[in-house]
Structure formats: structure tokens, C-alpha cells
Amino acid sequence: MTAPDRIRSVVPPYLLRAVADAAEHPRAAAAARTALGEMTAVAAPKREHRIRPQGVVGTVDRSPQRTIADAAGGTTLPGRVVRREGEPDTDDAATDEAYAGLGATHAFWLDVFGRASVDGAGLPLDATVHYGQDYDNAYWDGQRMVFGDGDGEVFNRFTIALDVIGHELAHGVTQHTADLTYEGQSGALNESVSDVFGSLVAQYTAGQTVDQASWLIGEGLFTDAVHGVALRSMRAPGTAYDDPVLGKDPQPATMAGYVQTTEDSGGVHVNSGIPNHAFFLAATAIGGRAWEGAGAVWWDALVSPSTTAGIDFAGFAGVTLDAASARFGAGSTEWTAVRDAWRTVGVHTAS
């Protein structure tokens, strides 16, 4: 396997560890141990923050440029190319789901925020499917999307969830904008931003309002053997699953439950529930279509020079308030919704 520059996976290590210990699901346990081993082997080194590009030079191709490769159960990337941009559907569900998901995500960023691909400069969207044997994850490695097929006992194939595809490509957007350090609260914000925009990709594609959205991340990834509906819930963090074998979703919804840990880069996946819930509260208080309200505020905050690489929850909350004020006006319904959302989850700013 060629080691990636960075790995941002959708299934958190705490859940993979629970699966790895599940004697009731031997095939899944073996697959989870493999996924955990790979995450450890390619853990991304801490990097210095890159200066944001000040503009795109030359002509930008604003059309999607997708290439899907098949690893055929191996771990060498990229694999054999099986579908390129403009080619018809294949007879392989994972290939076609990946192709469609990349297209839907590209359309969201272009239509809503005028951004041409994840880097804003028309970056080709590459993906590999059928990665590994029963591989229990999907990830962005800094250059491409990689999808496992799941183990069939606990996890289904990872191309079925559009919000997962949106989540992983949002890591690419963050990489090319704020480049939030993947550790502690900035790392939890990194994960949360991906959940936010992954959810918005799914909502935009389905034409859903805030009241119609499920606010679940990874809905459908669990098989029927699991007592759970998704990997995470933005509406109610900590309620996505409660399984006698895998345990209960550990995400906190407020700072009262903040997890102090050295695992998972300081709890980036578990503590992301707090800013996730803040976004949900802001979006539903504003109402309508989330990408036009809270989503626009979070986007403005993500690209703001005030969002430093190591920013914490309170710092980011302050930037979102400034963004809401600039876009909608201080004291507006939108500004008040953002302020109250952060206060509700226990994150306080000077405003």
C-alpha cells in the first residue's frame, strides 16, 4: 500500500475498537482490526499551517472530472480505472454510487458557494472502491476518496451513504481553506465541518428543508444486526446507536460532556458532537434550507482569515458570529440563532 499524505476516516477508532472486540461478529471483528491497524500505520503527522491561496491563477475547469478505480480487494492505490467522467453506468453498484456521490458533492459546492471542486481550482475527483477485504471504513487521504465494502455483519458498503462521500470530500475543502489542525478542539472542528457539509450535500441533493432532514451521518451503513440508525446524530449526539455488542454512541451534545482523552488525536470524533449540535440548533432556529442560513455562515467562517489552524470551539464560535453579522446583520434572526446555539451547547464568546 502507498501511504497517504493524511487520512481522515468516517468511522471513528472507538467504534472500530468495539467492533474488533465483538466475538458475536467474527468477520466484522477481523475487518475492524485491519482497519484499526491501517489507521495507526498511516496516522498523519502534525503539519504546519499552510498560507491560504490568495486567488486562482488561470482558467478553472468548473465541470466535475471524476475517475473511479477498483482496488479489487487489494490495498494498492489507486487500482484499475473502471469509470471516467462522462462514461455510462457500470454493472457495479459501488462504482456507480461513488461516481454519483462525487458528482452530487461537486454540484453542491459549485451551485451553493461557487467553488469549483474541493480546492476551488477544479481539482479532479478521484476515488477507489472495493478497497481491502471487508474494509470497514471510507477515507480521504489528501488526494482521493477510498471506500471499503464493509464486512456484511456490522457494516454495509460505504458508498451507499451520500453524506459520507460529502463528509470525506469536505475534509479536502478544509485542507485547502482553514487546514484545521487535526488534534483537540481544532481537530473536532475539522470533523464537525465535514459532518456539517456532508449533511448539507445530502440535504441539497434531496431538496430538503431543515425540518425534513434526518441530521444523521452515515445512515444506512449499519446492517440490520446493529441496534442503531447511523454513526452520529447532529440532532441528538449520543443517540445514533445503542447496541448490546457495540455499546452506546459516546458523543456529547454539550461542553458538560466534553471528553478529555489522548486517544483519537484528543477525541476529534467524539467531541465533534458539540459543534455538530450547535450547527443543528442554529440551522433549525433559522429554518428553511440549511445551506442558505447556518451553512452560509459556517462557510464564511471556514474561509475567514480569523479561523486559524489551531482555533478552539470558542474561537470558532466567535468567527461564526462575526460571519453571521457580516452576512445577515448584527442582531438579525440568523445572528441570534447562531449565538444562542453556541450558548446552548456551553460554548461562550464575548458577543
Considering the segment(s) 8-40+66-175 as one domain, its CATH architecture is: Roll (3.10)
CB proximity list for 349: less than 8 A, separation 6 or greater: 314, 317, 318, 321, 339, 342
Please write the tens of the pLDDT for every residue from 214-269.
Answer: 999 999 999 999 999 999 999 999 999 999 999 999 999 999 999 999 999 999 99
| Residues ≥6 apart with Cβ < 8 Å to 223 | 150, 152, 153, 154, 155, 156
pLDDT at 193 over 90: yes
Q: Which residue in 167, 269, 277, 334 is the catalytic one?
A: 269
Q: Is 130 a catalytic residue?
A: no
pLDDT 10s digits, 82-92: 999 999 999 99
Of 10, 42, 43, 17, give the one whose Cα is nearest residue 32.
17
What are the E-state strand segments in the chain?
8-9, 66-70, 80-84, 125-129, 138-140, 145-147, 216-217, 232-233, 242-243, 247-248
25 among known catalytic residues: no
- Confidence class for position 40, pLDDT limits 50, 70, 90: low
In the numeric block, the cell 459520507 is attached to 164
Per-residue pLDDT of 134-167, as tens digits, reads 999 999 988 899 999 999 999 999 999 999 999 9
For the segment 270-297, what is each residue's pLDDT rounded down to a tens digit? 999 999 999 999 999 999 999 999 999 9
pLDDT band at 41 (very low <50, low <70, confident <90, very high): low
Query: In this structure, what are the phi and psi dihedrals at residue 33, rounded to the nearest 5 degrees?
Result: -65, -40
pLDDT at 47 over 90: no
Percent of the chain with pLDDT over 90: 87
How many angstroms separate the CA atoms of 274 and 238, rounded? 10
pLDDT band at residue 60 using 50, 70 and 90 as cut-offs: confident
Sign of CA dihedral 110, 56, 145, 184: negative
- Maximum C-alpha span of the chain: 56
- pLDDT-derived band at 54 (thresholds 50, 70, 90) equals very low
Domain boundaries, the chain: 8-40+66-175, 184-344
Top-level class of domain 184-344? mainly alpha
Mean pLDDT of 188-215: 98
pTM for the full predicted model? 0.92
Residue 98: exposure state from Cβ atoms within 10 A (0-12, 13-18, ≥19): buried
> Rounded distance, CA 219 to CA 162, Å?
9
- Quote the CA–CA distance of 56 and 120 in Å, as a whole number: 8
Q: Which of 168, 191, 219, 334 is catalytic?
A: 168
pLDDT (mean) for 52-78:
80
Placement of cell 477481523 in the chain: 30
One fold for both 8-40+66-175 and 184-344? no
Answer whether residue 1 shows pLDDT above 70: no
**Could you report the per-residue pLDDT of 296-330, keeping only the tens digit for each?**
999 999 999 999 999 999 999 999 999 999 999 99
